[in-house]
Each structure stands twice: as structure tokens, then as C-alpha cells.
Structure 1
Amino acid sequence: MTTADGGPGRGGASGGGLGRRLLVALALVLATAGVTAWLVAGAVGPAIFHEHLGVGGMRTAEDAVAHAEEAFRTASGLALGIALAVAALVALAVSVVLTRRIGASLAALTTAARQVAGGRFAARVPAPDMGREFDELVLAFNQMAARLEESENLRHRLLADVAHEVRTPVATLNAHLEGLEDGVVEAGPETFAVLRAQSARLTRLAEDLAAVTKAESGELALSPVPTDPGELVHLAHLAARERAEAAAIALTADVEPGLPPIAADPERMAQVLGNLVDNALRHTPAGGRVTIAARRDPSRTGTHVTHVTLTVADTGGGIAAEHLPHVFERFYRADTARDRASGGSGIGLAITRALVEAHGGSVGVASAGRGSGATFTVTLPVEPPRRAAR
């Protein structure tokens, strides 16, 4: 059985480990030697004994004993010699087979490693069927190559998206500056507003890139304290209320009573909810609704509350099923033209995921498809995540 990335599965019929195969090969050699000796002794021994004992001139018992001893030595030596010769041939054949198979497997792994080292991350190693150790090695290599290939593809897309994000504001700035120099554009409030907006866009992009890099690398400092989830929801609602009213969108807050405090950095969690609410407002048309809520985690039963969920639900355009697994990736856009026009940098949701995971929580998204809205759910533990002892 092989995995999706070309590696052997752990449940494949690998015939046991390499050590077991070598022991089986050694046992085969010893068994061949023993069987050969027994067959030769049974076939040749009686004839030799008969020949020696039939030799005339044995006048005394001592002569008969001497001939019997000579017959035994000859038969034993012949049987042992033939057995050793056959065992040596079998051992040589087994060694050649094992050496070629091991060598071929290592050669394939070496070739693939050189391809990966050269930047060709699509290289994969076929299943060698040389035991559990080789299968696990090949599986680990293929998984590593697949991750490197995915990272390389993401890097290419990241560079292309960053270039695209930077190109538009830079082009706008250059056009207005050239217009000012040529006297075509007046240095009025409207011009300065455009320049400030594009400059702010570049600043936001740089800050977002720095934030997501720090969060994903674990360099972002958190100061978790007991925090009321309802207070987080109300602050997020208060911060976005004016923008929602300006866009003719109904923004509501819904907090379940009696929720226990969560261990969170209030500033960073405000950033998380702010990103989710901003995303919801951008993709909800006038007349729509955005709801910020805090509840007990419905997936965990019991009297003791261990996790709390913070949700941001909208009645906007929704997300198609094929895009749901990717919405938290950097610069990923389900609708490129619409999202760029709405002013998002494409990094807000990636920052959200990194911050939530840094708190020991998880974030997910659900949508019934286009035109059905979307619901983003942040799940956070009531108790702080345990840290590994140093």
C-alpha cells in the first residue's frame, strides 16, 4: 500500500523488518547446509562403508575397526565438504540478492535526495519492500519532499501576491507624484488623502507581514490573563459599530450568560476578533447582518466548561467548499478581484490563526456555499495550555 505522496504505507505487506529478513536468510543458509549434509551422508555414507568393509585381507578385528574408522572419516568429510560448498553458494546467492535490493533502494533514495537538494521537490521514492525500517525511511522522505514542495509553491505564490499588493499603491503614488511635478494634479486635500491612503496600505501590508511571521515562528510575546469572553465580544462590537452603520450592516453581539474567564492576552484577542469582524464587514453587502457571539463549546459535553467559542457570523457572499481549507493561508483569496477591491491585505486570517494557536486554541470556518454567509469559530481553553517542562 502506498500513500498519496508516493510513500509506502505503514500497513503495507513489508514482510517484517530488515533484521528479520537477514535472520531468515541466515537460517536458510544453515538449513541448506544441514539438509545437504544429511542427504549426502545418507546417499554416500553406506556405499563407502560397504566398500571399506568389503575389502579383503581383514584378518583381525583391529583391521575391521580401522576400515570402519576410515569409512566414517571419508563419508563424513565428503558430506561436510559438499554441505559447506552448497551453503557457500546459497550464502553467496542470498548476499547478492540482498545487496542488490538494498543497493537499489539506497540508490533510489540518494537520487531523490539529490533532486530535492537541487530544488526539484516533486521527487519521490517508490516503495522498496525491504522491511519496516526502509519503508518508514522512504515514507518520511516522501512526506518531507511533499512538505518542501508545498512550501515552495506557497513561497512562489507569496512572492507573486506581495509583488501584486505592492505594485498597485506604488503605481498610484508614482502617478500622483508625477502629476504634482508636472502640474497636472493639484496639491489639494483630495490628492493628499489618496497619498495617505496608499501609504497606509503599504504600512499595513508591512505590519501584517511582520505580525504573521512573528506569530507563526513563536516570537510573538503573549501576556495571558483571566479574560471575560463577553467583554471581548462587547469591545469588538463597540469598535466596529460605526463602520457597520456606515455600511448599512446590522452588527449585533450575543453573549451566553455565566461564561467562565479564558486565559488570553486581551490585546491579541481583540486583534483576532477585529480581523474576523473586518473580514465579515468587507464581504457582507448593505442590508446584511454580522453577529459576534460567545458561547460554551457545544462539542464538549459535561458540567464543567473547559472551552469557550467566539464566533463571527455574517450573511455575506459565503465561501465555496473547495476554498474552505485554504482561507487561513497567507494571501489566499476565494475571489481575487473582489477581495483586492475591498482593501484586505490577504494576511488578516493568517494572523488570526497564528494568534489563536499561540493561545492553545483553534479556529475554523463553515459555510454552506456561495450566497449563504460564513461563520468563523475561535475555540479557546478556559485553563491555559500546559507548557512542556524544561
Structure 2
Amino acid sequence: MVAQGAVVVAGIVTASAVAALIGPPLFHDHLLRAGMSASASELAHVEQAYNEASFVSLAVALVIAVLCALGVTWYVAGRLTRPLAVLTAAAHEMGEGNYAARATVSDAGPELASLAEAFNAMAGRLGDAEQTRRRLVGDVAHEMRTPVATLAAYLDGLDDRVVAWDEPTSSLFRSNVERLARLCDDMSAVSRAEEGRLELRRSNVEVRELLETAKREVRSGFSTKGVRLELGQCADARVVADPERVGQVLANLLANALRHTPAGGEVILSATQSGGEVRLVVQDSGEGLEPDQLTHVFERFYRGDAARTRDARGSGVGLTIAKAIAQAHGGRLTVTSPGRGHGATFTLSLPVGS
């Protein structure tokens, strides 16, 4: 309203100045040119009529301008305040922990509509982050509960002398302590990876060497389960990468493929070059993934099937770490799957070396 008032005042002041300073002399000069005598009484009346008409016109214009300014201000302010009130209410709801709050803005113009869309996208990401946090807390507690409960039960048994400290008991304690230590190490690794604090020793390394090393390290596990591991097409290329970290990613992808591929299935390890990147592919013929699972598979502790018993040797963060390692190399890790029962394909893309 202040801005509109300033515009109205500036316009009226300008028009009044023009009418008072420039208008009368011009009007008087034109009357003289029209043949009216400078001493004629009609001249004074005509000029007075001109001044009064100018005053009335400016007064009417001022009233109309003020009314228009009020109307425009009311309309524009309403279009601004209503969506802003909706956004404010949604922000307050989010502040109270309701991450499902959304702002619906339909008639506020493209700028506020874009703001509302950005707000809703932020709310969605915060909601996903909160769900991940809750699942993380619950899953960490779940992962720790079993070994802690086992150790506590055996400690009670040792105190009551119903359990003897022998080799099986010692082995059980050792394995559960190692499981807890592995969980702590994995959580620390996830934190470092997501914060970009991974130490990389990059070098130009042959792709075939990476694939063959990864295959050699997991071959015994595949043989034991009865799953074929084949080395498919392998591009004659080099990548700029940390061989140890890339080996960690491939080992994780192969272990994941083995876990979800039944006996008699097949896993193919291959590499292709496309433009300035090399794609290392792990393709299995196992359980596959539903479309809604593809967007969550790299999240910490994500379970595609909540009823599935997790491998006791894993902590559920391997794919999260693998994706962070890929991103630290300036590459990416993606997954595709035709659907349940049709296998999955993980692709690690890395920059081509010289």
C-alpha cells in the first residue's frame, strides 16, 4: 500500500506542477493567438475556468487513483498473503515433526507456485531422511540386540556355573564380539563415505585386472553355493581409481549377487567402455527387484523384504558404502532390474584412464 501511495502521490504532484507552471502560460498564449485581447474580461474568466477545471480534474484523478491503488493492493496482497500463510502453516507443522505436511498453492502465480513446489520437495526429502533415521536407529538396535542378548545369557550361565568356559563358548563370545565390532566399523565407514572423507590412492589400473582379482577373491563362495560366476565381455581399458576401494565395491556387489541368487543360478562380471567412462557390470539371475525397491536399495539398512533373514555376516550398509566410494571417484553406481524373479544388474561407472 505504501508503494502504491508513493506512486499515486508522485503522479499527482507531477501533474499538478505541470498544470500550475506550464499549463496556464500555454493556455494564455493560445488565447492571444486566437485573437482574444489581452485586456478583455473574458480572458480572465477563461483562464480561471481552466485553472478550476484542472483542479477538479486532478482531484477526481486523485480519488480514482487512490481507489484503484487500494483495489490493486488488496488483490495483490491477498494473492501473496494466502499462499504465504499456507506455506507458513506447513512450515510450522514440519517444525512440529509432521513431515507429511505439504503446501498447496494454486492461484499465486508462477513464482510462489515454484516456491511451494520446492518446499514440498524439501519436505519429501526431509520425510525420507527422517524415515531413514528411524529405520537406522531401529536396525542398529536390532543388529546389536542379538549378539548382546547372547553374550548376556552366556555370562549369566557362567555366573551360575551352568555353562563351562570351553572352546565352543570362547568361539561364541569371539564371533559375537567380532560382529559388534564389524557393525561399529561399518557405521564408521558409512559416516566417512557420506561425508566425503574417504582416502583414495588413485592410479591407472587395468579393468581386466580388477575383474579377475574380484572373481578370484569370491570364487570359493560361489562354488560352495553352486552358483556359476562367469567373466564376460571385458573392455581393453584402464580406469583412474583406487584399486583397493574398487575391489571393495566389486566384492560387495558380488557378495550381494551371491546372497540373492539361488543354487544353479549365474552371475556375470563384465566391463564395457562408453565415451569417457568404463562400466563395470555385475549381472545376476537371482531374485530381482521391484520398481519401488530400486529407489531405496542403496539406503542404509534397507530391506527389500522385511521378513527376510539377513545374512549374519553383513550389517546392511555395504551398498551404501559402495555407492559413496563410486561417487568419491567421480563415478556412479546404479541398479536396474526387470522385476521380481528376473535378476538385477549393478553398474559401476568410472572415468577412463590414460
User: TM bucket by the smaller chain?
Assistant: 0.7 to 0.9
State the partner residue of 2:170: 192
1:263 aligns with 2:233: no
Matched, 1:326 2:296: yes
**Residues 62/86 of structure 1: CA separation in 2 closer, same or farther (3 Å cut):** same
SS at match of 1:340: coil
AA aligned to 1:281 is L
From 206, 211, 220, the counterpart of 1:242: 220
Partner of 1:382: 352
Q: Distance in 1 between matches of 2:121 and 2:96?
A: 17
Question: In the TM superposition, what whole-angstrom CA distance separates every residue of 1:154-196 from its partner, at most 9, and x where no partner exists?
Answer: 1111111111111112112222222233233333332222222
Which residue of the partner structure matches residue 104 of structure 2?
126
> What is the aligned partner in structure 2 of residue 283 from structure 1?
260
Give the Cα separation in 1 of the matches to 2:109 and 2:344.
48
Alpha-carbon separation, structure 1, partners of 2:88 and 2:290: 42
Q: Structure 2 vs 1, CA of residues 228 and 281 (structure 1 numbering), >3 Å: closer, same or farther? A: same
Tell me which residue corresponds to 1:309.
279
**Aligned-residue offset at 1:119:** 2.5
1:114 paired residue number: 92
Shift in CA distance, 288/131, structure 1 to aligned 2, threshold 3 Å: closer
The aligned counterpart of 2:49 is: 71
How much does 1:382 deviate? 0.4
Give the match for residue 83 of structure 2.
Answer: 105
- CA displacement, residues 102-138 of structure 1 (integer Å, 9 cap, x when unaligned): 3333333333333323323223222264444433333
For the 8 Å contact 1:283–1:316, the answer to whether it is kept is yes
Mapped to 2, the partners of 1:149 and 1:211 lie a distance apart of 24
Residue correspondence of structure 1 range 346-385 to structure 2 within 5 A: 346-383=316-353
- 266-275 or 64-73: bigger deviation: 64-73
- Unaligned stretches of 5+ residues in structure 1: 1-21, 35-59, 385-390
Q: Aligned runs of 1:69-218 on 2, under 5 Å?
A: 69-127=47-105, 129-218=107-196
Structure 1 residue 151, shift from structure 2 partner: 0.9
| Separation of aligned partners in 1, 2:168 and 2:262 | 26
Runs of at least 4 residues of structure 1 off by over 4 A? none
* Runs of 5+ consecutive residues of structure 2 not aligned to the other structure: 16-37
Contact 1:262 1:383 in 2 (8 A): yes
Taking the aligned partners of 1:200 and 1:336, their CA distance within structure 2 comes to: 25
CA RMSD of aligned residues (A): 2.9
1:251-274 CA distance string (max 9 Å, x none): 2333525x2210001111111011
Matching residue within 274, 294, 300 for 2:251: 274
> CA separation in 2, counterparts of 1:342 and 1:280?
16
Sort the Cα spacing of 1:198 and 1:138 in 2 relative to 1 into closer, same or farther, 3 A: same
- CA gap 1:64/1:155 in 2 versus in 1, 3 angstroms: same
Change (3 A) 1:273 1:91: same
Q: Is the 8 A contact 1:284 1:315 kept in 2?
A: yes
Distance change >3 Å, CA 205–CA 61, structure 1 → 2: same
What does residue 33 of structure 2 align with?
none
Which amino acid letter does the alignment assign opposite residue 79 of structure 2? R
Q: CA offsets, 1:319-363, max 9 Å, x none?
A: 233322211111111123434145431111111111111111121
Q: How far apart, CA to CA, are the structure 2 residues paired with 1:255 and 1:83?
A: 83
Note the C-alpha offset of 1:275.
Answer: 0.6
Pairwise CA distance, 1:383: 4.5
Are 2:289 and 2:338, in contact at CA under 8 Å, matched by a contact in 1? yes
Distance 2:158 2:75 in 1: 80
**How many residues align structurally?**
327
Distance (Å, rounded) in 1 between the aligned partners of 2:322 and 2:270: 17
Residue 365 of structure 1 aligns to a residue in which SS?
Answer: strand
Distance 1:224 1:73, change over 3 A: same
Change (3 A) 1:365 1:264: same
Q: CA contact under 8 A between 2:219 and 2:229: conserved in structure 1?
A: yes
Residue type of the alignment partner of 2:72: V
Aligned pairs (5 A) from 1:10-49 = none
1:295 is the counterpart of 2:265: no
- 8 Å CA contact 2:272–2:278 kept in 1: the answer is yes
Larger mean Cα displacement after TM superposition, 151-160 or 245-254: 245-254
What is aligned with 2:24?
none
